[in-house]
């Protein structure tokens, strides 16, 4: 189980697959990290917790009652009732320290390879994969594009990206609700990147947990669609606070839905005044030119 967000990743096989590969190959049991006084140790184990009584009040009372059975009679002995002073010592450690260390290694690798690494995050159905397909179509003759797909199950999205013409690997997280830096570290090795370009990571559809995990990306891009509520930035502030770019997708549907673009941008800027916005429709390609131009400029 993930010690940060509680998702069931512990002992859940993580699959890293290329299109056409059997789902039973290239899987591993996900490791999680503990930071012991600065040293990162990887453990693959079950946690069995035996709960003991902790009371935050320094002065508290314990009543110990013992029940004795005698052949002639039953009775309770209230053995002792006492007060004693105690202290609850709370030790806080950065639960993400191990992830962040690997993320920095990933970042160094990406920089060394001349890769612009982007982390695409959104709720399910916002159009991440469709945006990727159209981006590959418009960019594949201009630069190299590599893709890591993240989903709980299936190779569906990886197959779509492969058909679009980009090298891709799929990470199936099982019950896990997000990608982490270790998964990316393993997946990028299977991509066999040989030259510079753009690496696009499509995270698991979820606006909560992926916001906590640095993957080593240069930019985090949150995508919302006009078919969602325009108050998404206020409902899920951490995701918008930790993102660099906000793409508002499916603008071709604006005449048919109750979505206020200006209000949504205002809400997002309350959370993160430094956000850059792109309004576009993947279906009609309206607004895609600005997105492609930004990608080319930032990847130079």
Q: What is the pLDDT of residues 165-197, one digit of tens each?
A: 999 999 998 877 899 999 999 999 999 898 899
pLDDT of the residue at 22: 75
Asked if 221 and 247 touch (Cβ cutoff 8 Å), the reply is: yes
Check whether 140 has a pLDDT greater than 90: no
Average pLDDT over residues 7-32: 69
Under the banding of pLDDT at 50, 70 and 90, the label for residue 67 is very low
What pLDDT, in 10s, does the model give residues 262-298?
Answer: 999 999 999 999 999 999 999 999 999 999 999 999 9
Under the banding of pLDDT at 50, 70 and 90, the label for residue 136 is very high
Domain boundaries, the chain: 13-32+96-298
Q: Calculate the alpha carbon distances from 99 to 111, 117, 182, 219 in Å.
A: 18, 17, 7, 17
Q: Is 255 left (phi over 0), alpha (psi -120 to 50) or beta?
A: alpha
Closest among 89, 87, 118, 145 to 245, alpha carbons compared:
118
Contacts of 156 (CB under 8 A, 6+ apart): none
Under the banding of pLDDT at 50, 70 and 90, the label for residue 21 is confident
Closest among 133, 125, 159 to 21, alpha carbons compared:
159
pLDDT of the residue at 66: 45
Check whether 144 has a pLDDT greater than 90: yes
Task: Please give the backbone phi and psi of residue 247, each rounded to the nearest 5 degrees, phi first.
Answer: -100, 125
Percent of the chain with pLDDT over 90: 64
Check whether 64 has a pLDDT greater than 70: no
Average pLDDT over residues 50-79: 45
| Per-chain mean pLDDT for the chain | 82
Q: Within the chain, what is the greatest distance between any pair of CA atoms?
A: 94
Asked if 223 and 249 touch (Cβ cutoff 8 Å), the reply is: yes
Average pLDDT over residues 203-223: 96
Under the banding of pLDDT at 50, 70 and 90, the label for residue 198 is very high
Contacts of 253 (CB under 8 A, 6+ apart): 225, 226, 227
Percent of the chain with pLDDT over 70: 72
Check whether 99 has a pLDDT greater than 80: yes
Q: CA–CA separation, 169 vs 171, rounded Å?
A: 7
Check whether 251 has a pLDDT greater than 50: yes
Closest among 163, 137, 140 to 149, alpha carbons compared:
163
Under the banding of pLDDT at 50, 70 and 90, the label for residue 88 is low
3-state SS class at 146: strand
| Side-chain-facing half-sphere of 137: CA atoms under 13 Å | 14
pLDDT of the residue at 13: 82
pLDDT of the residue at 3: 58
Closest among 238, 229, 224, 235 to 272, alpha carbons compared:
238
Q: CA 158, 162, 168: angle at the middle one, nearest 5? A: 60
Average pLDDT over residues 64-70: 46
Check whether 18 has a pLDDT greater than 50: yes
Neighbours of 196 (CB within 10 A): 13
Which residue shows structure tokens 């469709």? 130
CATH topology of domain 13-32+96-298: Rossmann fold (3.40.50)
């Amino acid at each position: 189980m993930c010690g940060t967000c509680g998702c069931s990743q512990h002992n859940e096989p993580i699959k890293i697959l290329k299109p056409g590969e059997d789902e039973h190959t290239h899987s591993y049991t996900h490791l999680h990290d503990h930071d012991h006084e600065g040293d990162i140790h990887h453990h693959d184990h079950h946690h069995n917790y035996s709960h003991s009584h902790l009371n935050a009040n320094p002065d508290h009372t314990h009543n110990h009652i013992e029940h004795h059975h005698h052949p002639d009679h039953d009775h309770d002995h209230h053995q002792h009732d006492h007060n004693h002073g105690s202290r609850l010592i709370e030790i806080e450690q950065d639960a993400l320290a191990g992830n962040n260390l690997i993320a920095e290694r990933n970042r160094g690798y990406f920089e060394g390879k001349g890769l612009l690494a982007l982390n695409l995050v959104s709720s399910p159905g916002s159009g991440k994969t469709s945006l990727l397909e159209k981006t590959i179509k418009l960019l594949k003759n201009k630069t190299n594009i590599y893709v890591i797909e993240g989903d709980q199950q299936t190779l569906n999205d990886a197959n779509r990206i492969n058909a679009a013409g980009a090298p891709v690997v799929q990470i199936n997280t099982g019950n896990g609700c997000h990608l982490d830096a270790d998964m990316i570290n393993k997946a990028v090795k299977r991509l066999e990147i040989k030259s510079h370009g753009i690496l696009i990571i499509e995270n698991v559809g979820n606006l909560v947990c992926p916001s906590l995990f640095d993957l080593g990306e240069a930019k985090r891009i949150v995508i919302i669609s006009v078919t969602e509520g325009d108050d998404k930035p206020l409902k899920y502030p951490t995701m918008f606070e930790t993102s660099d770019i906000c793409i508002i997708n499916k603008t071709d549907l604006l005449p048919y839905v109750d979505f206020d673009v200006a209000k949504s941008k205002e809400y997002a800027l309350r959370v993160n005044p430094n956000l850059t916005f792109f309004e576009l429709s993947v279906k009609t390609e309206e607004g895609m030119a600005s997105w492609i131009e930004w990608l080319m400029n930032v990847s130079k």
